[in-house]
Amino acid sequence: MGGTAGTSIGGPPWRTPALALLLALLAADAITQQPGPAVTVRIAKEQAVAVPPSVLAGLTPLHELDTAWVAVGSTETVRQLRSAGVALEEFPAAAPGDGYLVVFDPSPDDLAVLRARGQVLVGDGRNWIFVGPEDRARTLVPAHLAFAPLAARAAGPIVLAPAVERATPPGPAETTVVPGPLPASLAAQVSRDRLRQTIADLEGFVTRYASTASGEAAGSYILETFRRLGLEATADYFTPATTPPYTTSNLVATLPGRSDPERIVIVSAHYDSFSDRAETLAPGADDNASGVAAVIETARLLVAQEFDFTVRFIAFGAEERGLLGSQRYAQAARRTGEQIVAVVNLDMLAYADRRPEDLDIVASATSGWLAARLAAAATATASLPTATQVRATFGSDCSPFWQQGFAAVCGIEDVPLANPYYHKTTDRLDTLDLDLATAITRAVVATVADLAQPVQAPAPPAGVAARSQVVRSLFRRARFVSLEWRAGAPGVTGYNVYRAQASHGAYRKLNATPLRERSFGELTDPAEDLFYVVTSVDATGHESNPSGEASVAGDTAPVPQ
């Protein structure tokens, strides 16, 4: 794991010219027609100010923190924001050879070490920004801390709002969804012995540190394991700009969906490991052979089944060196428009510091529905208690997906971590609780299978897309939402449309009788975020699984005066 964890010895994940070019490109995109050089700023989310959207749009978000944004914009944009009453902090420009890192969850003692070794900038009180020499950054950050490069464009948009008093932090949305018969049956088939064997095999590579030959050999083992299961699997090789350079890969296996293969459910784990002797001995049984074993076991059980949506099984490289593999994948997915339904990321599943142990689930504010689905599956299939934390950023491979606007959760044994062998040469199979690993894997299998939707007749509609148009008059605004979808399977005679006010929330049917046309429209409140699914109906009245979700965002612009 990276979260509350994970640096390594060796060079940082960029060279200064590459970082400078990336920041320049981000800045150029953010400040079109805005004069002045680019600057990096920290801006608190909770602010009681009214900022013209056109001014706030002059900032390009780089990273969302729990209570703040880090963004880049022009000096003119910063001046306009200050004039509007926005409180923000301008970061000093990094010196030649320096780079920015987001450091996750440092303790006061860690901060003292960081301040002695370089610049430490305020993040949000939980996560901090470290500026240090490029060629020594990874040796300067304490080895037990997780980090990621700052210059990773976040999905945004930046929203500022007044502070709201609340008794407890917001949690995930309530749900009553439990796995259906097939997902529950698959979960019951999880093999403790297979999990144990995969963990033992991965530990047997001695170290899986991303820059080592044995680490790459472990990647080849995972790739061939996916292929032996009958999956199409590829290695996406990449070479981070480090000193010295090295090449590693993300390992991606695909089970194509039958009804709507463009929709994708991902189950993932990082396969690299770390210790204070990372290049020669880092067995990483819990961190994170246990997570990879759960991904492989999920693949074994799902591969013989058919699902509406595509399932991808991914082993990410270089997590311990700054979430580099997942960051690469998530950024590419956003750039190419992948329709990712959900990401279930697994990081350290097999150490129990107490009995009974629970499953900790870490979710973003918009991924609460997914956390609730995983928690419900844990209860139903393994009688496993759960605890959910809501974060905006976290030191594991869920975080890059949050930054790109995708729904993702991290399943982990404990937050904060309690494993005394974490990131040590003693993180071995004989320290693990395989009953815990088995229970968590059962929950994961059921959740992923349920999200991907086992095929049933009739097939759901594919290609559901929502569009909206807001019409403003002097006294009111109205919005017309239109839905369209592709033709259903043979035998489909009509369609039903459902709407919710939260992603994967409580859907309400909108039509009294099945629709004959492949379109639907309605007038709605312009300010509401709305989420739609469509089902097919056959001549006997049987209704399909829901389609992939389509949504329209609320328009909160004021009525013209």
pLDDT tens-digit map of 371-414: 999 999 999 999 999 999 999 999 999 999 999 999 999 999 99
Asked if residue 119 and residue 228 are part of one domain, the reply reads: no
Asked if residue 445 and residue 495 are part of one domain, the reply reads: no
Taking 80 as the threshold, does the pLDDT of residue 5 lie above it?
Answer: no
What pLDDT, in 10s, does the model give residues 475-502?
A: 667 889 999 999 767 889 999 999 999 9
Asked if residue 21 and residue 138 are part of one domain, the reply reads: yes
Q: Does residue 334 lie within any of the structural domains?
A: yes
Asked if residue 482 and residue 337 are part of one domain, the reply reads: no
- For 503-540, letters b (16+ CB in 10 Å) and e give bbbebeeeeeebbeebebeeebebebebbbbbbbbbee
Taking 70 as the threshold, does the pLDDT of residue 61 lie above it?
Answer: yes
**Into how many domains does the chain fold?**
3
Taking 80 as the threshold, does the pLDDT of residue 516 lie above it?
Answer: yes
Q: Does residue 428 lie within any of the structural domains?
A: yes
Q: Does residue 286 lie within any of the structural domains?
A: yes
What number is the average pLDDT over the span 93-118?
88
Asked if residue 268 and residue 375 are part of one domain, the reply reads: yes
* Average pLDDT of the chain to the nearest whole number: 87
Asked if residue 477 and residue 416 are part of one domain, the reply reads: no
Choose the weakest-confidence range: 85-99, 129-143, 472-486.
129-143
- For 235-251, letters b (16+ CB in 10 Å) and e give bbeeebebeeebebbbb
Q: Is residue 12 a contact partner of residue 130, using CB atoms and an 8 Å limit?
A: no
Where residue 523 sits, what CATH number does that domain have? 2.60.40.10
Q: Is residue 170 very low, low, confident or very high in pLDDT (cuts 50, 70, 90)?
A: very low
Taking 80 as the threshold, does the pLDDT of residue 27 lie above it?
Answer: no
Residue 167, Cβ density class (10 Å: 0-12 exposed, 13-18 middle, ≥19 buried): exposed
d(CA 344, CA 444): 8
What number is the average pLDDT over the span 503-509?
93
If one compares 472 and 29, the residue with the highest pLDDT of the two is 472
The pLDDT value recorded for residue 478 is: 83
What number is the average pLDDT over the span 511-517?
94
Domain boundary among 394, 419, 452: 452
Taking 70 as the threshold, does the pLDDT of residue 556 lie above it?
Answer: no
Q: Does residue 545 lie within any of the structural domains?
A: yes
d(CA 519, CA 527): 23
Q: Is residue 100 very low, low, confident or very high in pLDDT (cuts 50, 70, 90)?
A: confident
Q: Is residue 430 a contact partner of residue 366, using CB atoms and an 8 Å limit?
A: no
Q: Quick one: which of 227, 173, 193 has its CA closest to 441?
A: 193
The pLDDT value recorded for residue 245 is: 86
Where residue 394 sits, what CATH number does that domain have? 3.40.630.10
* Helices vs. strands in the chain: H and E counts, helices first: 13, 23
Taking 50 as the threshold, does the pLDDT of residue 53 lie above it?
Answer: yes
Domain boundary among 149, 169, 191: 149
Amino acid occupying residue 319: E
Taking 90 as the threshold, does the pLDDT of residue 156 lie above it?
Answer: no
Asked if residue 435 and residue 508 are part of one domain, the reply reads: no
What number is the average pLDDT over the span 234-263?
93
3-state SS class at 117: helix
The pLDDT value recorded for residue 173 is: 43
Domain boundary among 452, 478, 495: 452
Q: What is the CA radius of gyration of the chain?
A: 24
d(CA 42, CA 150): 12
The pLDDT value recorded for residue 6 is: 33
Asked if residue 471 and residue 446 are part of one domain, the reply reads: no
For the ranges 57-61, 180-184, 292-296, the maximum mean pLDDT occurs at 292-296
What pLDDT, in 10s, does the model give residues 533-554?
A: 999 999 999 999 999 999 999 8
User: Which tokens go with 441?
Assistant: 């894997």
For the ranges 128-132, 136-140, 307-311, the maximum mean pLDDT occurs at 307-311
What pLDDT, in 10s, does the model give residues 406-453?
A: 999 999 999 999 999 999 999 999 999 999 999 999 999 999 999 999
Asked if residue 409 and residue 347 are part of one domain, the reply reads: yes
Structural domain including 350 reads 181-452
The pLDDT value recorded for residue 2 is: 63
Taking 70 as the threshold, does the pLDDT of residue 509 lie above it?
Answer: yes
Q: Quick one: which of 3, 68, 80 has its CA closest to 34?
A: 80
d(CA 256, CA 233): 12
What pLDDT, in 10s, does the model give residues 111-120?
A: 999 999 988 9
The pLDDT value recorded for residue 138 is: 65
Q: Is residue 96 very low, low, confident or very high in pLDDT (cuts 50, 70, 90)?
A: confident
d(CA 491, CA 527): 38
pTM for the model stands at: 0.88
The pLDDT value recorded for residue 36 is: 63
What number is the average pLDDT over the span 151-180?
63
Asked if residue 195 and residue 99 are part of one domain, the reply reads: no
Taking 70 as the threshold, does the pLDDT of residue 152 lie above it?
Answer: no
d(CA 223, CA 444): 21
Q: Does residue 336 lie within any of the structural domains?
A: yes
Q: Quick one: which of 288, 271, 293, 314 has its CA closest to 438?
A: 293
Q: Does residue 173 lie within any of the structural domains?
A: no
Asked if residue 482 and residue 441 are part of one domain, the reply reads: no
Taking 90 as the threshold, does the pLDDT of residue 55 lie above it?
Answer: no
Q: Where does 319-472 show beta strands of DSSP type E?
A: 339-346, 359-363, 386-390, 408-412, 465-472
The pLDDT value recorded for residue 162 is: 84
If one compares 337 and 489, the residue with the highest pLDDT of the two is 337
Q: Does residue 140 lie within any of the structural domains?
A: yes
Q: Does residue 160 lie within any of the structural domains?
A: no
Taking 50 as the threshold, does the pLDDT of residue 322 lie above it?
Answer: yes
Q: Is residue 16 a contact partner of residue 100, using CB atoms and an 8 Å limit?
A: no
d(CA 107, CA 113): 10
Asked if residue 215 and residue 91 are part of one domain, the reply reads: no
List C-alpha distances in Å: 173 to 40, 178, 364, 366, 439: 34, 14, 11, 9, 23
What number is the average pLDDT over the span 331-350?
97
List C-alpha distances in Å: 275 to 217, 278, 425: 18, 5, 6
